[in-house]
A and B are shown apart, each in its own frame.
Chain A
């Protein structure tokens, strides 16, 4: 059996067996597929559902699918979805109860979500997953719904070969190389034979590999695989100077740039929906018509909504300026105080999916420029 850290080569023709083996083990495959003009994450049955030969062109406020001139299965950059919704469910029932004679009973929640296999997770998204693991599992209170969904999940990661126009994982130190959080990590090679260099990340990964035809990777394969990622690191669409960004933002809460970006921001909340690390939630308490049964459901929420900061009859953050400021300062500054790491993984989704093309790398740079002494030439 292969060792953790070992690299093997799986030919394209054998790749379907990898997915079939995961399904045979009882995993539900969640992977990329083309739908509604985008590469989304959905339940897939096998290789036939993957976006073979597709890539995306991304810029601020723009996403277009384009055909590639090869049959790459993973030749695209981050689409509108991350893996957030697989474990931090958009809607999750927290508990339900029943009224009996003026007193109420809380009924046990039967949690039995399917075990998932994520196919095609990028470094940025695995960094985001690690952040969510920290928030939902690693702090004082463990979220039972997240814990159940996360348990037994298998991760097939992909080393990025095609970064997009809005990617900046290299700046954030989260990619493009996948370094942790995976059972198997694939690098897709297209020169010559279409094949995958597969790195084993865990015992479960090694065991699964035992069911797929493979040979050890030689030096050439390893070098080719490393080159893919090296090239990707140099082709980032954006950059963000992360050093000192916490102080730059938290010490400039009244910077005029906030007013300026507020003139463009629609508070549509797209950025928070596509962001892989956003975790704000709200709760809905409902009853049946007779008022005898009640339940509480947790739903995704966004700091861009007026309700998010409701206090004593009104929102604390009424203006769009204050809500945009809250989002950005939380994401790249306060998060560091709260969890010891940035909340931004450089996936670029918020830039791509903002209808007016607001680019947070530009916003951060603008606030820096307005506060730091200019370089002497």
Chain B
């Protein structure tokens, strides 16, 4: 029998080229893309399948300009992701995708861009950051704000250091709590907004992290005068298909898998504040 991937429900097994441990429970998988590469837009996700266990939606966290390698950053929290995080080089992961609406990188051309990430939320934003850095001349000010629980939980530490050292972007990292070995800022992510220039008229903000963190951050962005139409959040809901067919990921009229996961804030502002929608 041949291995044929056909139809939107069928996964394509891709071999694991390498696994990088980011933190105690978070790993980045590098998969070998098929021959002509795996093209995706920053902010899109794949449904990743662990043989015999199940499938979960995980954002692509790699560089869109390097489609020969497909990267996903995964935290081991449930049955599927725990099984996935036990896989090593040589095994395969089933991939379906890419799905969804990504970050508004075209829309943001000519504007100042503010990237705000909390915890694992940096993973879906990293492809956008790569794009912003590669095409730096297309954008105005670029600021990257990132917060995690503690220094040990920071993702992509070496890259963070490089971004913080670059002069053409302003990157700041903050942690909720730290021991004496940490000399950087300590506090909640929204507090970093006070340290960057956020020209309200032209800023496009891209925010990703736990939903409450996004709500608090958006509140502060609105206080700074950034319009809801220029704030973008990446939402999560239960997903079984990624195709808009299973009905699980609905938030009001939006299917998070196809209208999102990146959604313009004005479209979800009302819904997000109604409990249990």
Contact = CB atoms under 8 A, between A and B. Distances in A.
B250 A330 contact: yes
Interface stretch (A9-17, A71-79, A204-212, A314-322): A314-322
A131 to B, nearest CB: 13
A227 to B, nearest CB: 41
B3 A106 contact: yes
A371 interface: no
Contact of A283 (B55, B244, B247): B55
A1 interface: no
Interface string B15-47: 100000000000000000000000000000000
A311 B1 contact: no
Interface in A232-270: 250, 253-254
B241 A283 contact: yes
A106 B7 contact: no
B233 to A, nearest CB: 15
Given A303-B247, A322-B277, A334-B252, A283 B240 contact: yes
A291 B93 CA distance: 15
A294 B55 CA distance: 13
Contacts of A294: 51-52
B223 interface: no
Nearest to B88: A102
Nearest to B246: A281
- Of the four ranges (under 10, 10 to 19, 20 to 34, 35 or more), the interface on chain A belongs to 35 or more
Given A281-B245, A311-B236, A106 B274 contact: no
A135 B245 contact: yes
A377 interface: no
A107 interface: yes
Contacts of A311: 236-238
B209 to A, nearest CB: 13
A95 B246 CA distance: 16
A294 B52 CA distance: 5
B237 A250 contact: no
A143 B243 CA distance: 9
Given A94-B10, A106-B4, A285 B53 contact: yes
B8 interface: yes
A250 B245 contact: no
A97 B1 CA distance: 10
B103 interface: no
Contacts of A85: none
Interface on chain B toward A: helix, strand, loop, or mixed SS?
loop
B4 A108 contact: yes
Contacts of B166: none
Interface in B181-208: none
B246 A282 contact: yes
B246 A283 contact: yes
A273 to B, nearest CB: 14
B146 interface: no
Contacts of A144: 6-9
A49 interface: no
Contact of B92 (A102, A253, A282): A102
A105 B277 contact: no
A317 B276 contact: yes
Interface string B210-236: 000000000000000000000000001
B248 A141 contact: no
A152 B78 CA distance: 43
Nearest to B5: A106
Contact of B15 (A95, A103, A141): A103
A298 interface: yes
Contacts of B238: 308-311, 316
Interface in A72-130: 94-95, 97-99, 102-109
Contacts of A334: 250, 252-253
B255 interface: yes
A102 B244 contact: no
B92 A95 contact: no
A3 interface: no
Interface string B84-114: 0000001110100000000000000000000
B2 A108 contact: yes
A363 to B, nearest CB: 18
Contacts of A308: 238, 247-248
B150 interface: no
Contact of B12 (A106, A287, A316): A106
Given A94-B10, A282-B240, A105 B3 contact: yes
Most buried by B among A104, A281, A308: A104
A139 interface: yes
Contacts of B90: 102-103
B92 A103 contact: yes
A81 to B, nearest CB: 20
B167 interface: no
Contacts of B246: 280-283, 298, 301
B261 interface: no
Given A143-B9, A301-B246, 16 more contacts: A95-B11, A98-B1, A102-B92, A104-B13, A106-B3, A106-B12, A140-B244, A141-B244, A141-B245, A143-B245, A281-B245, A282-B248, A298-B9, A309-B248, A319-B276, A322-B276
26 contacts: A95-B10, A95-B11, A103-B90, A104-B51, A104-B92, A105-B1, A106-B4, A106-B12, A136-B245, A140-B243, A141-B8, A142-B8, A143-B9, A143-B243, A279-B247, A280-B246, A281-B241, A282-B240, A283-B240, A298-B246, A301-B246, A301-B248, A308-B247, A310-B238, A316-B237, A334-B250
- 10 nearest A-B pairs in the assembled complex, by CB-CB distance: A322-B276, A280-B247, A287-B52, A337-B253, A334-B253, A105-B3, A141-B8, A141-B243, A94-B9, A144-B7
